[in-house]
Structure 1
């Protein structure tokens, strides 16, 4: 059906319609697509291509096939029924389109294909989706009038179309979000595998507010590259100490000329704040804001939460830093406190 939609029914439409709108038609009118996604037996099976090619079983088409039916429109009983009348021009259909604030007659002429082209070319994607859903429920209302002698109120068509659109949007956006998350996760893992790895941690003494930090830089294959550790200014909370440790570590890494790095921390709260756009109104918030600004200067700087057991190098370095009077930097040769942990 999609081949017919793109190349047979609208061969002259530009790429904007082909690329942006075809998925709308697919999700609402592709046979069984809606029912498979929503677990219902009643699929919106109105094939839009049948309406565009004038092969819907309306009264005039049935008469052409020598089916003995009354050609009068079953909804308004004002004139003979054709596709354009059934879905657009009928008094009942006009009330539906009035509820949706969409035009009933295009400026370019009087046919269903011209009307639909006008809608696709001049209205937003949200309005187009709503119109396509309303076409299906308008057709269901027409069949209800034929077989059950019952015609729902036009606002009911609007409500049903919006409900279907919301259900489709929920499924479609969930799938897109999962795909985006999977892609982002794959990119994150790729950067971590190709970039140097830096483990950092903070030490905090609540009684004295004394704080320290430790950071260990490893190559992508795990070989030691550099380390630093020292005391921090007094901090008022463990989170503030972790944020200050992150800030100093990022400054140290930037000074070493690194453009891409994978950061690892055992502070889940810090990792969460670094991934959010919200501002934090606290002493720790200033340091976290500085960390975000420093991260933005890197081409790639992924921050990953790890358990304390996987952060033994940085934790040991931060603990031993309490006895130091100044920050100690180690290049090539690891500090004695963590040398045993590297083997």
Structure 2
């Protein structure tokens, strides 16, 4: 399944397929809510499948001419629901169904908090407008070409931070290292971090973990406008376009995409190794005889 949707929709799909949506049934199982009954219709426990398929007349939406879908067993999972949509619908209507599934969850939260929600009778029309507008703003997909990218590091726009990332796999060692360095429009390093993890992943998986590591740091720091840059073409392509869930880097990339909604602006950039020297040296030179933070290790401050 390729997640070519706005970040907030991708984030919803990730939460749904990971079974971490805070429905009443889920909260009741965790002994957080006092009851599992759906607060809108009161006819059944509020699971994600009940909410999407049948609550408040949703079965009529899926039976409409755009979809002609049958109701699945309420014991099925969100993953099975998305797979069912993928098997049953052509590409455009599959995307529309994903948008509507997300909107149902959004409507549920609006009702819960006393805000206005889109009526079920209008949800297909609303979803069609939303999807068409999103698709109209998408650039034609082209594969990234190393030759068209700079070999030198360049500063981000004013108000942004550029997060360069890299990974290192020491030969013969049962661990790998990931690094990130954040610099502003003046090229000043405001933070850097390095971590070593046990395991023997392939290089691309380690690079994808480095990207996730940097985004988690950025979220923790409260940075709002960021550009994540790395020299692994496959990872940057996957972050820009979404990824097949069967890919070996899929778990890391999906985790990265789930963090995108937490930023005001977040984009991904490819740079050649020669333009990623500082992050590379941080990853390959660890451990350092100093603490992580805003002062770079001796000998590395001069790297661009």
Which range, TM-score by smaller chain? 0.3 to 0.5
Tell me which of the two structures has the higher relative contact order, counting C-alpha pairs closer than 8 angstroms and 6 or more residues apart.
Answer: 2
More helix by share: 1
Structure with larger Rg: 1
* TM-score of the aligned structures, taking structure 2 as reference length: 0.46
* TM-score of the aligned structures, taking structure 1 as reference length: 0.41
